[in-house]
Amino acid sequence: MKILGIETSCDETAIAILECEGNPQSAKFRILGNALLSQIEIHKEYGGVFPALAKREHAKNLVPILEAALEEAELLHEDTQVIPEETRAKISEILAREPGLAESFFDFVSECEPPEIDAIAVTAGPGLEPALWVGINFAKALALVWKKPLVAVNHMEGHVIAALASGNHIAPVSGENDASVALAGRHHAAPLRGDHGDVSALAQNKNETLAIKNIEMPILALLISGGHTELVLMKNWLEYELVGQTRDDAVGEAFDKVARMLELPYPGGPEISRLAEAARSESSETMFKLPRPMIDSATCDFSFAGLKTAVLYLLKTQTDLHAREKQHIAHEFENAVTDVLWKKTARALEETRARTLVIGGGVSANTHIRRVFKEKVEEKFPEVALSIPSAALTTDNAIMIALAGFYHAEHREFVTDIIADGNLTLAQ
């Protein structure tokens, strides 16, 4: 089965094509094509993602992104196609709210034959609704003109499946579980030049695969990103239960807000990590002390608003903040965040008796968080298998959407229409 995935939930425009074999319990995925364009440089001047601008950029870039992915997958075959007037009218209506997209869409599909794919998967939410709608409408138009079934994917579910399928996997030290989650070959960015700017695609070779096999249930997922901090339990494939969540700020949001307080460039999370690692290389001790909100509460819920406020008050006491002080504040803030994330996850592991722990979302790229979780799981929960995505798949991407799309396609969960939901939840 070949799945084409489309991701436009925030500020990355991405399309990937995966060849999928097997079943939910044991599957292999070959990345045939993968193209992504990030808008970070465009949004820097705003200090964050500007939704209307993100929507415009998605509409401008989806067609060249699609062309790059199909070409890499060797599924782009030029041939004049006559689109019936009735179909053309329906597509024009679908794309009416995306300026310029209909014109470039028709130009492209009229000059190439439908690719040999089996389904189209697209992010339905959560995310920025204006951005989500562009990807959804594009997917609906492709499904109509190519006569392919459509799958709606929850963005956070994509992070879960991507962590299982591409993780830097640590098997239990007991050796009783041979769960295998591997990424073979190269996995790094290679630029493609086009009329619409730089399109980066993950360099592939034909033998590169992702794999999911022998995963032990239940699976506990820690999802940490700019908009989410939650613990989700999966006892059976695609069935989710909420174990804990943030009561205020998401952890990625806290990173970004503290970075702005420290006058660091956008995006702030990697900058805080960079400063923290610099301080940590000199000493494990910090010059400052910050609270660990709710760390000892009898729940698996999180809170980061108080930690953010504590940084604000700390900065008010520093009349002359030098580079070294910034490093130590970043160091202590990152330590505090990691302590809370680990303590709550450990509690959830004890309560749920999960056999597999996955960490997904943009914040899972954080070096210190990855390091601490690897050490703590090996020490405290040797019977648990830990899987963290490769760095390339921690951020928003279409590979994870295609992966999740495969699971839903296997269950024949096809849809005729999709509604963008910026607050779509994965579990109750």
Integer Cα distance of 243 and 153 in angstroms? 21
- Let me know whether 317 and 197 are in one domain: no
366 is a domain residue: no
Q: Name the 3-class secondary structure at 172.
A: coil
The answer as to whether 363 is a domain residue is: no
The answer to whether residue 422 scores a pLDDT higher than 50 is: yes
Residues 272 and 141 in one domain: no
Can you give the residue range of the structural domain that contains 328? Answer: 219-354
**Segment 311-333, tens digit of pLDDT:** 999 999 987 888 999 999 999 99
Alpha-helical segments (H) within 97-231: 101-109, 129-146, 155-166
Question: Under a CB-based contact definition with an 8 Å cutoff, are residues 158 and 123 in contact?
Answer: yes
* Neighbour count for residue 112 (Cβ, 10 Å): 18
Whole-number pLDDT of residue 156 = 96
pLDDT digits (tens, 9 = 90+) for 375-389: 999 999 999 999 998
* Gap between the Cα atoms of 163 and 98, Å rounded: 32
The reply to whether 361 falls in a domain is no
Query: CA-to-CA distance for 93 and 200, rounded, in angstroms?
Result: 31
Better pLDDT: 241 or 24: 241
**Of 330, 354, 378, which marks where a domain is finished?**
354
Give me the number of domains the chain comprises. Answer: 2
9: nearest Cα among 43, 49, 48: 49
What percent of the chain stands above pLDDT 90?
A: 77
**166 & 301 share domain:** no
Average pLDDT over residues 108-124: 97
Q: Of the given ranges (13-22, 163-172, 183-192, 262-271), which has the lowest mean pLDDT?
A: 183-192
* Integer Cα distance of 251 and 119 in angstroms: 34
In order, the DSSP letters of 350-419 are: HHHT-SEEEEESGGGG-HHHHHHHHHHHHHH-TTSEEE-B-GGGTSS-HHHHHHHHHHHHHTT--BS---
d(CA 234, CA 236): 6
Domain shared by 134 and 53, yes or no: yes
Q: Which residues are within 8 A (CB) of 197 and not within 5 positions of it... i.e. 6 or more apart?
A: 37, 61
**Structure-token match 């307080």, residue found:** 261
pLDDT, tens only, 19-41:
999 988 899 999 999 999 988 77
Q: Judge if 69 and 126 occupy the same domain.
A: yes
Q: Residue 218: is the preceding peptide bond cis (ω within 30°)? A: yes
What's the pTM value of the predicted model, to 2 decimals?
A: 0.90
> Based on the domain organization, do 248 and 183 belong to the same domain?
no
Task: Check whether 412 has a pLDDT greater than 90.
Answer: yes
Say if 156 falls within a structural domain.
Answer: yes
pLDDT one-digit tens code per residue, 346-366: 999 999 999 999 999 999 999
What does the alpha-carbon distance between residue 179 and residue 217 come to, in Å, rounded to a whole number? 11
Asked if residue 258 and residue 149 are part of one domain, the reply reads no
Q: E strands within 1-125? A: 2-7, 12-23, 26-38, 119-125
CATH number of the domain enclosing 152: 3.30.420.40
Is residue 395 located within the same domain as residue 350? no
> Is 419 a member of any domain?
no
Same domain, yes or no: 114 and 207: yes
415 strand-pairing partners: 150
Task: Note whether residue 17 is domain-resident.
Answer: yes
Averaged pLDDT for residues 248-275: 93
Which position has the higher pLDDT, 23 or 299? 299
Show the tokens assigned to 32.
């045939």
Q: What percentage of the chain exceeds 70 in pLDDT?
A: 90
Residues 52, 127 share a domain? yes
Mean pLDDT of 88-99: 95
Same domain? 202 vs 239: no
Instruction: Write down the pLDDT at residue 204.
Output: 41
For residue 64, give the amino acid letter: P
**Residue 349 included in any domain:** yes
Which three-class secondary structure state does DSSP give residue 32?
strand
44/107 same-domain check:
yes
Q: Is 367 part of a structural domain of the chain?
A: no
